[in-house]
């Protein structure tokens, strides 16, 4: 399979690297020093599931019209999807599948603003990983998994075959029965990232202090209530399951949004807690914990983008 991976950070490099290791023709779009290091020295992935190295690696710095793919994995930050979508028109043909793996619940809709709906899948991934140094990825938490499907939840031959491709590449994958429900369930969990940023704390610290643990519980509950208001199915007891899931994370771990805020970089704040606040307003629902966290970080986010 010819695969184009847009973004070679902790997500794109890990899953793309596994697919390349399995023998697929993988090309990474990566810029700057990280892309140059991959081009020169290959890609090194340090993983709790076993390290691996790829050398040589196919790396390009931009999306060109001469690049065609059976599958495009979109692994950039959520706020970069719209820009990428407009560029992808040059490489998408009749049969290309475009699979976004962003945090949040908006990526597929944003891709469809520029691409034919038939080309766009919906998906999410589970992994805690980051760029450790130029050309080096560290995967240090959570079993790597991709959950995806057609945006209308139809069970097509192409998603069944793609699921087999992913599983054969050495990471878990499944076709969702209800991909919107799966996206929202991950969305609930990731929105705690901004609480970590506000408190300048790790997952372990936030879950251990009773006061911040209660904030985390209320944050999750607000989003689960919003999902139900929007007719997205969230099963009873899911908030408790999410709390238990957070309890399995390495004590010292954080998220990419958290690290971006701390480092003064643009983050996915608008696509996480900002989206909660905006959708809740439209639905006439009060989400005080998410609103407090979002507003607390908004000035920092605006400064980072300036």
Residue-wise pLDDT tens digits, 76-103: 999 999 999 989 988 899 999 999 999 9
Specify the pLDDT at position 67.
79
Residue-wise pLDDT tens digits, 195-231: 999 999 999 999 999 999 999 999 999 999 999 999 9
pLDDT higher at 87 or 194: 194
Token pair 């966290």: residue:
293
Is the per-residue pLDDT at 4 higher than 90?
yes
Q: What is the bridge-based pairing of β-strands 172-175 and 52-54?
A: unpaired
Could you tell me the pLDDT band of residue 65, with boundaries at 50, 70 and 90?
low
Specify the pLDDT at position 81.
95
Residue-wise pLDDT tens digits, 240-296: 999 999 999 989 999 989 999 999 999 999 999 999 999 999 999 999 999 999 999
Residue-wise pLDDT tens digits, 100-154: 999 999 999 999 999 999 999 999 999 989 999 999 999 998 899 999 999 999 9
What's the predicted TM-score (pTM) here?
A: 0.90
Distance in angstroms (rounded) separating the CA atoms of residues 71 and 1: 8
For residue 16, give the nearest of 43, 47, 35 by alpha carbon: 43
Q: What is the 3-state secondary structure (H, E, C) of 150-194?
A: ECCCCCCHHHHHHHHHHHHCCCEEEECCCHHHHHHHHHHHHCCHH
231-242 burial code (b ≥16 CB/10 A, e <16): ebebeeebbeeb
Question: What is each CA distance from 135 to 20, 44, 233, 257, in whole angstroms?
Answer: 15, 6, 40, 21
Specify the pLDDT at position 66.
73
Q: What is the bridge-based pairing of β-strands 43-47 and 52-54?
A: antiparallel
Specify the pLDDT at position 125.
96
Specify the pLDDT at position 142.
86
* Dihedral sign of CA atoms 179, 180, 181, 183 in order: positive
Specify the pLDDT at position 68.
82
Regarding the domain delimited by 183-305, which CATH topology (the fold level of the hierarchy) does it fall under?
1.10.1040
Range(s) for CATH 3.40.50.720 in the chain?
A: 2-177
Which of these CATH numbers, 3.30.930.10, 2.40.40.20, 3.40.50.720, 3.40.50.300, describes 2-177? 3.40.50.720
249-280 burial code (b ≥16 CB/10 A, e <16): beeebbbbbbebbeeeebbbbbbbbbbbbebb
Range(s) for CATH 1.10.1040.10 in the chain?
A: 183-305
Is the per-residue pLDDT at 193 higher than 70?
yes
How does the average pLDDT of the chain come out, rounded?
Answer: 95
Specify the pLDDT at position 89.
87
| ∠ Cα 204 11 272 (to 5°) | 60
Distance in angstroms (rounded) separating the CA atoms of residues 98 and 69: 9
Residue-wise pLDDT tens digits, 36-47: 999 999 999 999
């Amino acid at each position: 399979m010819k695969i184009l991976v847009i973004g070679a950070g902790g997500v794109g490099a890990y899953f793309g690297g596994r697919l390349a290791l399995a023998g697929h023709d993988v090309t990474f779009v990566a810029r700057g020093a990280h892309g140059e290091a991959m081009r020169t020295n290959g890609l090194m992935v340090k993983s709790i599931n076993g390290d691996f190295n790829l050398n040589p690696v196919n790396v390009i710095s931009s999306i060109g019209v001469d690049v065609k793919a059976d599958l495009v994995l979109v692994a950039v930050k959520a706020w970069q999807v719209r820009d990428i979508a407009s560029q992808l028109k040059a490489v998408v043909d009749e049969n290309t599948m475009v699979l976004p793996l962003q945090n949040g619940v908006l990526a597929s809709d944003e891709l469809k603003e520029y691409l034919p709906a038939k080309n766009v899948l919906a998906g999410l991934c589970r992994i805690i990983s980051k760029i450790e140094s130029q050309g080096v990825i560290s995967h240090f938490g959570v079993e790597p998994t991709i959950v995806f499907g057609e945006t209308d939840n139809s069970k097509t031959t192409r998603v069944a075959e793609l699921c087999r491709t992913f599983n054969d590449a050495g990471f878990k994958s499944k076709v969702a029965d209800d991909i919107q429900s799966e996206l929202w369930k991950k969305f609930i969990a990731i929105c705690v990232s901004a609480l970590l940023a506000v408190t300048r704390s790790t997952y372990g610290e936030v879950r251990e202090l009773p006061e911040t643990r209660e904030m985390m519980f209320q944050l999750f509950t607000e989003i689960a209530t919003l999902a139900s208001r929007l007719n997205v199915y969230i099963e009873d007891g899911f908030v408790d399951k999410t709390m238990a899931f957070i309890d399995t994370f390495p004590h010292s771990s954080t998220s990419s949004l958290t690290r971006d805020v701390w480092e003064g970089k643009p983050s996915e704040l608008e696509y996480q807690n900002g989206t909660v606040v905006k959708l809740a307003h439209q639905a006439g629902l009060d989400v005080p914990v998410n609103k407090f966290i979002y507003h607390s970080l908004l000035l920092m986010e605006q400064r980072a983008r300036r």
